[in-house]
Amino acid sequence: MNRRSFIGLVMFATMAPTLARWAQAVPPAALQRRTGGDVDLANLEEVTIAELQAAMEEGEFTAVELVNAYIERIEAIDQDGPRLNSILEINPDALDIAQALDEERRTSGARSPLHGIPILLKDNIDTADRMRTTAGSLALMNSTPARDAFIVQRLRDAGAVILGKTNMSEWANFRSTRSSSGWSGRGGQCKNPYILDRNPCGSSSGSGAATAANLTAGSIGTETDGSIVCPATANGVVGIKPTVGLLSRSGIIPISHNQDTPGPHARVVADAAAILGAMVGVDPEDPATAPSEGRAYTDYTQFLDPNGLQGARIGVARQSVTGYSEETDRLFEQAIQAMRDAGATIIDPADIPTINEITTGPTELTVLLYDFKHDLNAYLAARNDPDIRTLADLIAFNEENAEQELRWFGQELFLMAQEKGELTDPEYIEALETNHRLGRTEGIDAVLQAHQLDAIVAPTGSPAWTTDLVNGDHFLGASSSPAAIAGYPLISVPMGFAFGLPVNITFMGTAWSEPTLIRLAYAFEQATKVRRPPQFLPTLAE
């Protein structure tokens, strides 16, 4: 047994007593199903991880039966029927893994709340198995990673079943300035499960869409700026973008070591919190995780409190993060009132003073271009692909395979990044310092301290736009950038529907404030309970 596996098993052995407590922490009313409370494998809509775990503990079904049920649903909805196109491949070893976990449950009990639970991974997260990891690109189809990403090993140690890989915006939406979110050369266009001709947003498109469509218990996406929370709002699920450094990035195809982080998609906050805790840990191969020691929790479900908004001080961000969508603003006002009704003190407005500089300035893109070239070249060198070893190789591959890769949009960002120099360049150093100042001390932290806030809220984004491969995304607005450049956490939670399309609210805070944000987001979710499963409508009804 390797060191990671040993540490993981010890850690999750200590979590065993939380199984019963976690199930009790979720109010029964939130878990009631149309089948009367029992889990029906023929109808997995809106079933929670707590319900699945309880049913397996009671012997109602096995992990093998559960995995089979999800595979059948994927075949019926993703590969046939609506053809959601959210999943690139199913893990050919999933049933064998589930069978081994069933035997372990019988002989020694469950490792953690994720024991036997199927989880999907975004296609930029390495797995050392029979699946590929390609960032959605045809360029990496001829090689496989030598080992699991750190967070994948943590999930396996927790007893999760890695069910498959999800479609994504190719290269995490960092290839072109006019891309269509959810499109990849490997997988084609992912669809929105609520209205199929609407966009699922990106870059963790398949993670959000598959979770919303009940094709998995939960998924893992990644975010640099908006790539977890935008699919969360477009697909009506919970998305947690953690503090940069809470979760390791080793073994994840990168954009930026300053802004990248993995994080979960789930249908309820409790499930997202459970998945988040399973992935934490200091990774010597990712120095950014060192400060998480003493600040991370292996069990974030302990912060689930239905009364968590009582006495909380919530700041309302408006400037530059509202006003782009009447429907979004309408739902946001209702959400603010719901928090007041739940006992929160609302400070309105509580604008981020640097927001205009953040949204209109060049420094975020400057940092990302430098980081992308440096970080991707390092990843590719370690991957040892027979043909693709540098960003320059990727650019050449796309040009040589333009009919498949460049049919709908180009690679302008690749070309811009290729022109950048080293991370010692004064331009890069100054831009990074500016980002930290604008996002942290003069941005989010300034607002939190000035008003003594527990968190800031803002709309996550607009209702999903119609997918347009010819012209690219019709993006109206979002609120993720301040936290992105600061490296701070976000939680996006459903707040309502506009014309049948979901829209979310974002809770944001300072570094390592995940416990507070989970408490607030969970209380908001329990007070509103607006999520409903998608109906796979072909288009918006007139």
Catalytic residue list: 122, 203, 227
- DSSP per residue, 44-58: -TT--HHHHHHHHHT
**Residue position matching structure tokens 């494998």:** 41
Taking the C-alpha atoms of residue 214 and residue 266, their distance in angstroms, rounded to an integer, is: 9
Q: What is the CB neighbour count within 10 angstroms for residue 42?
A: 8
Write the single-letter amino acid at 176: S
Task: Give 61's Cβ-side CA count (13 Å radius).
Answer: 20
Taking the C-alpha atoms of residue 382 and residue 254, their distance in angstroms, rounded to an integer, is: 13
Which SS3 state, helix, strand or coil, does residue 276 take? helix
Taking the C-alpha atoms of residue 178 and residue 151, their distance in angstroms, rounded to an integer, is: 31
**Positive or negative torsion for Cα 33, 35, 39, 43:** negative
**Positive or negative torsion for Cα 401, 405, 408, 411:** negative
Tokens of 367: 């940092």
Contact 351/448 with Cβ under 8 angstroms?
Answer: no
Taking the C-alpha atoms of residue 97 and residue 541, their distance in angstroms, rounded to an integer, is: 43
**CA distances from residue 263 to 88, 238, 275, 341, 535 in whole angstroms, order as listed:** 19, 11, 9, 30, 26
CA distance from start to end of the chain:
59
Taking the C-alpha atoms of residue 328 and residue 352, their distance in angstroms, rounded to an integer, is: 19
**Residue position matching structure tokens 């990727």:** 394
Q: In angstroms, how far apart are the furthest CA atoms of the chain? A: 63
Write the single-letter amino acid at 198: R
| Prior bond of 179 cis (ω within 30°) | no
Tokens of 59: 């012997």
Phi, psi dihedrals of residue 298, rounded to the nearest 5°: -80, -10
**CA distances from residue 511 to 241, 419, 441, 493, 519 in whole angstroms, order as listed:** 11, 33, 11, 19, 16
**Positive or negative torsion for Cα 137, 142, 146, 147:** positive
- DSSP per residue, 146-215: SS--HHHHHHHHTT-EEEEEE--SGGGG-S-TT--TTEETTTEE---SSBTTB---SSSHHHHHHHHTTS
